[in-house]
Chain A
Amino acid sequence: MSFDIPALIGRSTLNRIQVLGQSTIFLVIAFIQAFLPPFRFIRLLKEIEFIGSRSILIVAVTGLFTGMVLGLQGYHTLTQFGAEALLGSAVALSIIRELGPVLCALMVTGRAGSAIAAQIGIMKITDQFPALEMMAIDPVKYVISPKIIAGIISLPLLTAVFDVIGIMGGYLVGVKLLGVNEGAYFGKMVSAVTFTDIYGGILKSLSFGLLIAWIPSYMGFMAEPTTEGVSTATTNAVVLTSLSILIVDYILTSLLL
């Protein structure tokens, strides 16, 4: 083996571009298939239950503590300038614009994203995809499409839960514990938060929902058909999805501001 560095770089670049292309085609096919008959509403509901409903508790707890920490930190910073009345708007803006969509997506990636990659990987190593094929059922349409749609539907709703509970967490610490005026907390919030903030948060959570269903599905689908392959795919799915969420968050923020 010779160490031909340009060739190595070239080969790995080509590989990466190929994966990018493949995964995009995979997404496009799964997305289009979702809107072609036969429709499987029960499958979609089950996926929403899996990605959405079962994430509510973990999202709520994360939201509560995020809001409480923001209340605590915000209060101690703002009192230095005598501006603790602005606590409400500070908490609400940071949660609605950034922390809500991003933290919620990261938590759901850890819970549902890993499970999606593992589940699809296991279906692959146990021949369940060719089994579907042999029953004249398109595996991508049956397994992947509902997950993509469920991700896009679930994440904005989960983010809304996160936002509300986060703001209540800030209220608990700021108003109830540290004595910020209740009217100021909510009053300033209402005047500070604009529709653009909420719209930006929803747009982010929609994109993150897509990423959470897409990347783990692809990793599971392309996993080496061995037990080791499935565990690697699961790890990679969580790492890649989390990184993509942070990168996409930066891009969307820069476009929205």
Chain B
Amino acid sequence: MIRVENLVKKYGNTVASNRLNCRFEQGKVTVILGGSGSGKSTLLRQITGLERPDSGSIYFDGMDLTLASKKKLYVKRKKMGMLFQGSALFNYLNIFENIAFPLREHTKIAESVIKTIVTMKLEMVGLRGTEKLMPSQLSGGMMKRVGLARAIVMDPKIIFYDEPTSGLDPISTGVIGKLIMDLNSKLNITSVVVSHDIKSSFRIADKIIILFYGDIIAEGSVDEIRNSEDLRVKQFINGEPEGPIPFNRTDKNYLDELLMEQE
């Protein structure tokens, strides 16, 4: 479905993507795991065409997105759905209009059919009855579910999830995880999830990619990752404060810096 080849993206001296190669298989849930600053969101933004890489290729359905014109990119985008970290609902439209928005913009479907489709999508995320509410009246978890309903309203072939469970309570996390798996199994939708939530990722993933400062340090099934011998992977999935992945951002010696202050 998506093939990434030799992807490079730099911000100043920071390398966000360091010659990345990976694949996202049709009908599978692939989770990109990594800590803050690992380059996982940047990878997602490049795959979706929101950002252009410095070099490398991204093949989506056989077309190189990095070379595509805006028009061709927009054609492909109609097959993509995306759930944003903050849901990105339109704050001036109510829930019904938010979900109906892509239909109104891209199709000439009759109002009664739009109503049926929106009701079906809301039922899928368990939020029928909220049509008239504004996004600000919903909780974070409910907003994510509305965002998901909007992402699937055009029946996309692939859905991207940017931190779908961050900031949610355990039950909402479970609900979102189940929705991702349901969409994947019932509609055969390809899913790409960016996350740092190990527990829910292990539950939903067919394949896991772990990023570390722009490099892929591990790639494989949940069991392969769980049994990995790589110390960095072990530290990350167990959430240990001590290990090869430094917590501090500076290379300066702590004692030296303290003593310098004294002088």
Contact = CB atoms under 8 A, between A and B. Distances in A.
A69 B48 CA distance: 59
A7 interface: no
B13 interface: no
Contact of B101 (A122, A123, A127, A135): A135
Given A122-B91, A126-B91, A128-B90, A135 B102 contact: yes
A69 B192 CA distance: 66
Interface of chain A, helix or strand or loop or mixed? helix
Interface residues of A, number: 14
B14 to A, nearest CB: 18
A136 B75 contact: yes
Contacts of A122: 91
A128 B90 CA distance: 7
A176 to B, nearest CB: 44
Given A126-B86, A127-B85, A137 B105 contact: yes
A128 B102 contact: no
Contacts of A127: 84-86, 88
Contacts of A131: 82, 84, 88, 90
29 contacts: A119-B92, A122-B91, A123-B91, A126-B86, A126-B88, A127-B84, A127-B85, A127-B88, A128-B88, A128-B91, A130-B45, A130-B82, A130-B84, A130-B88, A131-B88, A133-B50, A134-B48, A134-B77, A134-B82, A134-B160, A135-B77, A135-B101, A135-B102, A135-B105, A135-B154, A136-B74, A136-B75, A136-B106, A137-B105
Interface of B: 45, 48, 50, 70, 74-75, 77-78, 80-82, 84-86, 88-92, 101-102, 105-106, 154, 160
Interface of A: 119, 122-123, 126-128, 130-131, 133-138
